Amino acid sequence: MKVHRRLTPIIPVAVALGCILAGAVLLTATPSAPTRQDAQYVGQEQCAACHEETVAKFRESIHGQKGFEMRSTHSCETCHGPGKAHVDAGGGKGSMVAPQALSKDKQTEMCQTCHDRGNKTDWAGSLHETRGLACQDCHSVHSPGAAKAQLKTGETELCFSCHKQKQAQFFRASHHPIREGKIECSDCHNPHAVQEAKRVDLAAITETCYQCHAEKRGPFLWEHIPVREDCMTCHEPHGSNHMKMLKVKEPFLCQRCHSDTRHPGTLYDQSQRNNDSNRLYGRSCTNCHSTLHGSNHPSGRTYLR
Ligand code: HEC
Ligand code: HEC
Ligand code: HEC
Ligand code: HEC
Ligand code: HEC
Ligand code: HEC
Ligand code: HEC
Ligand code: HEC
Ligand code: HEC
Ligand code: HEC
């Protein structure tokens, strides 16, 4: 009781002061915009007056559907900056943030304020980042050319547009069916995190191959060590002019590790083995060693079955 009574005279004073302050604010800003910064935002309905089609398309896009309700109320102005000056001037160039005019870093920043997680955490330092690509080089939020992920063009076409040498590999006699539309670059690569030391994580690469070639995973009773270690010891991942995307033809492929002077062939470093034949059997080792990726047959030690 005592405490309450002591406080009561103060409250009317505070309220009165508040009213005076609020009145002052009202003179300089609109009632719905409590700070000066916010006063510069006008909302997407205003933009629609002149950019009708852009706004309509944006509303239907994933950003219009969920992105911006979730994280921001500024819609268009989240990326293009506050639009009051632009609207007051009746539109025109130079008064809005025009993404194409920004540095690549700034362009990426526009997107990374929200997209900095999941498979995009390694964007910084990736080759695409260090070679000056921005998100907008591959994506277009307003006029995507592909149904998937707001890409500017279909993925294969997009990657080919810069990676001509890789494109050529996919035109070799034996190739992964990218051109045929059965798989895409992103089945094996994360374009948001391509690394220079592309082979640092061999296990991860082989794991990628297993995703579609599960039968190569084993476990096998008789494992062929190089297969377990790294598919790319023998295969080109994109394409090759040797059958089955091999790096080199048989028998040379096998003879990089197995002696070609005697057969059964020996590993160079196992010359002490007691072998009884000097003949090289034909040219294609896999005619006989048909299960070279590994065998589960009890007598498959030499991958003949
Ligand atoms: C204010 C936050 C925010 C900003 C800024 C933002 N996005 Fe998004 N974006 C989202 C949200 C939220 C989703 C929906 C994600 C989901 O549902 O998982 C999304 C989805 C996407 C998708 C997936 C599309 C699809 O069809 O699957 C792409 C691509 C994308 N954004 C690219 C961009 C690009 C490029 C930029 C920069 C120009 C950008 N975003 C800026 C919040 C944002
Ligand atoms: C997620 C960020 C983002 C949002 C939100 C966004 N834009 Fe854009 N806007 C861009 C980017 C990036 C470009 C550059 C072209 C492109 O990538 O599609 C652009 C380009 C434009 C252009 C110029 C077109 C040109 O190519 O010169 C206009 C006009 C425009 N946006 C209007 C709007 C309007 C209106 C809205 C709201 C309905 C909006 N933007 C929402 C990122 C955004
Ligand atoms: C009164 C009409 C009008 C309104 C309202 C309007 N714009 Fe524009 N806007 C224009 C005109 C005109 C251009 C210049 C187009 C050109 O020359 O290609 C333009 C250009 C732009 C550009 C490109 C700027 C540049 O420097 O290249 C962006 C981005 C943009 N508007 C976004 C918006 C956004 C976001 C809103 C809502 C906040 C908005 N506009 C409201 C008429 C308007
Ligand atoms: C070299 C081209 C390229 C660049 C640069 C690029 N992306 Fe992508 N992005 C793709 C491709 C291809 C896909 C679809 C395949 C996939 O899901 O990985 C994709 C998918 C996405 C998706 C939707 C699926 C997912 O993984 O969440 C988002 C969101 C996205 N990108 C945002 C970004 C942002 C943000 C940046 C800039 C930091 C960026 N992208 C830079 C090519 C690119
Ligand atoms: C705008 C051009 C551009 C586009 C589009 C592009 N890249 Fe790249 N990419 C580069 C550049 C530049 C490098 C740096 C190394 C180089 O020149 O090969 C690179 C590097 C790479 C690397 C690593 C190379 C290495 O030596 O380790 C991979 C993997 C890669 N890109 C995959 C892709 C995929 C997948 C796509 C399609 C989603 C794509 N790129 C689209 C320009 C591009
Ligand atoms: C089947 C999986 C797979 C597919 C699909 C694939 N790549 Fe690769 N790519 C790899 C592997 C594995 C490596 C690493 C090669 C090595 O270290 O010998 C690689 C390496 C690269 C490199 C680094 C340069 C090099 O050859 O050393 C680039 C660039 C590249 N890929 C681009 C692409 C593009 C562009 C596409 C789509 C057109 C694509 N890749 C499709 C698996 C794949
Ligand atoms: C996204 C699925 C996918 C991934 C990942 C994948 N492949 Fe394939 N691979 C295929 C398809 C599809 C074919 C074509 C099969 C056919 O035509 O019968 C194929 C064919 C092959 C062939 C035989 C080519 C020929 O001329 O018959 C080899 C060798 C091969 N892949 C090796 C690999 C290696 C090594 C990796 C890992 C770097 C890998 N694949 C990752 C889908 C995949
Ligand atoms: C020691 C060399 C060598 C290694 C390592 C190797 N392969 Fe092969 N692979 C071959 C040869 C030789 C052929 C062609 C003969 C045949 O069809 O058996 C072949 C054929 C294939 C084929 C097409 C025929 C088939 O069997 O479906 C696929 C797919 C394949 N390899 C995937 C892989 C994968 C995935 C890995 C890694 C887990 C791998 N290879 C590692 C030598 C190798
Ligand atoms: C990168 C080196 C390498 C390549 C290439 C390679 N191998 Fe092997 N191979 C090995 C190793 C290591 C062993 C295990 C030797 C051991 O356990 O004594 C082995 C074992 C074998 C064995 C069983 C030998 C035994 O004594 O159990 C056969 C058969 C064989 N390889 C055939 C082939 C054929 C056929 C090819 C070509 C398609 C090939 N290898 C390519 C390294 C290689
Ligand atoms: C005409 C069938 C045939 C051809 C072709 C053939 N091999 Fe063999 N290979 C055999 C037979 C049979 C054995 C003995 C199997 C056993 O002892 O169980 C053998 C054994 C081996 C062994 C195991 C040797 C050991 O020390 O036990 C290796 C390694 C080998 N071959 C590699 C090769 C290579 C490399 C080629 C191609 C240059 C090749 N083979 C071509 C039939 C063949």
Phi, psi (deg, nearest 5) at residue 240:
-155, 160
- The answer to whether 54 and 47 have CB atoms below 8 angstroms apart is yes
b/e map of 234-245 (b: 16 or more CB within 10 Å)?
A: bbbbbbbebeeb
Q: Determine if the pTM surpasses 0.85.
A: yes
Residues with CB under 6 A from ligand 3: 42, 46-47, 49-51, 76-77, 80, 83, 86-87, 90-94, 96, 98
Domain definitions of the chain by residue range: 25-92, 116-187, 202-288
Ligand 4 contact via 192 beta carbon (within 6 Å)? yes
Tell me the CA–centroid distance for residue 160 and ligand 8, in Å.
26
Q: Whose CA is nearest to atom 28 of ligand 5?
A: 194
Query: Which spans in 72-162 are helix H?
Result: 76-80, 84-88, 104-112, 127-130, 155-162
**Per-residue confidence at 186, pLDDT binned at 50, 70, 90?**
very high
Burial class, 204, CB count within 10 angstroms (exposed 0-12 / middle 13-18 / buried 19+): exposed
Q: What is the pLDDT of residue 120?
A: 79
Res 265 pLDDT > 70? no
Q: Whose CA is nearest to atom 19 of ligand 5?
A: 128
Computed over every residue of the chain, the mean pLDDT equals 81
pLDDT given at position 67:
63
Q: How far is the CA of 48 from the centre of ligand 4 (A)?
A: 28
